[in-house]
Amino acid sequence: MIDKQALIDRFVSYVTIDTESDPNSDTTPSSEKQWDLARKLAGELEAMGMTDVTIDENAYIMATLPSNVAHKVPTIGFVSHFDTTPDFTGKDVKPQIIENYDGGNIVLNKEQNIILSPDYFDDLLQYKGQTIITTDGTTLLGADDKAGITEIMEAMQYLLAHPEIKHGTIRVGFTPDEEIGRGAHKFDVEKFGADWAYTMDGSQIGELEYENFNAAGAVVTIEGKIVHPGYAKGKMVNSMYIATDYINSLPRFETPEHTEGREGFFHLYSIEGGVDSTKLEYIIRDHDKNHFEARKAMMVQLANELNEQLEKELVTVTMKDQYFNMREKVEPVMHIVDIAEEAMKALGIRPLIKPIRGGTDGSQLSFMGLPCPNIFAGGHNFHGRYEYVPVESMMRAVEVIVKIAEITAQREQ
């Protein structure tokens, strides 16, 4: 039986440590404060009895739970990240614990009238009668992905305390900077030494994912010419008007707010500029590789067409691939998804197998040679003040980790 209070205490001890990553930093980890939790985790792994505990110069943590069976079993891994997003503050997190949630509004912050309501976030109603951990409305919670870390730690603690549960060698990995797309960049797959792994980084209970977006970032720069507006005829070139033409030439309804499932999109997330220069920043996403390449080509072609119309090279596009759909790396070893699905079903959890409308360390790790599907960590409304996590979902995630380890050992007998 998973110790509910111990899990809550561990989770709260993690989320109250500020680990916000910094996209403007070139270091790894990108923020010095990530070391605070990294060192704490390494110390806890050693204290509980894990072996081969290491923390490298970039704050990547690895540890081993040795096999307790005589027969050969594949080495499996579980991975989570300890940074939180820079999109919303994770400083001075004050978790609120709501016992026996009654299905009504949760007042996060009375003074600021911030309310977590099932009228807007109807997923809340799934957790009526459960214990929910929320923010106080002024910060994010950090369940992404400190819930995943908590679950892995609790699962290792449980397996150490219950040697009657048979398992092979299990590797644990905790990473910095996932939220800024660098979580796997310096992950030493060879050192980790697992045949496959699972990221504990999904959302609601039951999620099991082995597909994600192909992703790229694009910067569109438009150069203009500024002169005194009273003498501008035939001389001024207003880059903002050209930028508007560019924006409006992309498919209007192929944006995040109009798409779902496997549908891709162009997402304009930043505009900076004036008359003489405007910069547009986009992310490009699509599950289908051919459609993904077509989206990138469309953005370049549009710039070329505008330059032809203007008879000047005023529009430039720079583009960088970020990650790819891990499906092509996981499908050849689908038994690793089957094991996770079997574990959930054995525990009475309905698997929700669906594509991720985003990315995960598991995507990059899969292309680095470590096939790595994604499993639920239990949280909702990540990256904002309305983030919450049901404690019972976290407890079920711990059980899933334990059951995966058990099934993997049984399959090899």
C-alpha 30/C-alpha 366 separation (Å) is: 23
83 is catalytic: yes
Judge whether 83 and 61 are in contact, CB under 8 Å: no
Backbone angles phi, psi at 409, to 5 degrees: -70, -40
C-alpha 135/C-alpha 386 separation (Å) is: 7
36 — alpha (psi -120 to 50), left (phi > 0) or beta?
Answer: alpha
CA dihedral 382, 385, 390, 395 (to 10 degrees): 60
Q: Residue 325, SS3?
A: coil
Q: What are the C-alpha distances in Å from 200 to residues 144, 150, 242, 282, 398? A: 10, 10, 44, 28, 10
211 is catalytic: no
| Residue 285: strand pairing partners | 215, 265
DSSP string, 122-183: GGGGGGTTS-EEE--SSS---HHHHHHHHHHHHHHHHHHH-TTS----EEEEEES-GGGT-T
172 burial class (0-12, 13-18, 19+ CB within 10 angstroms)? buried
Q: What are 21's two structure tokens?
A: 């990553």
Handedness of CA 344, 349, 353, 354 (dihedral sign): negative
The active-site residue, picked from 22, 136, 178, 399, is: 178
DSSP designation for 26: -
Q: Which residue in 80, 77, 83, 81 sits closest to 172, CA to CA?
A: 77
The active-site residue, picked from 18, 44, 83, 286, is: 83
C-alpha 27/C-alpha 130 separation (Å) is: 41
C-alpha 243/C-alpha 241 separation (Å) is: 5
| Residue 293: strand pairing partners | none
C-alpha 241/C-alpha 307 separation (Å) is: 13
| Active site (catalytic) residues | 83, 178
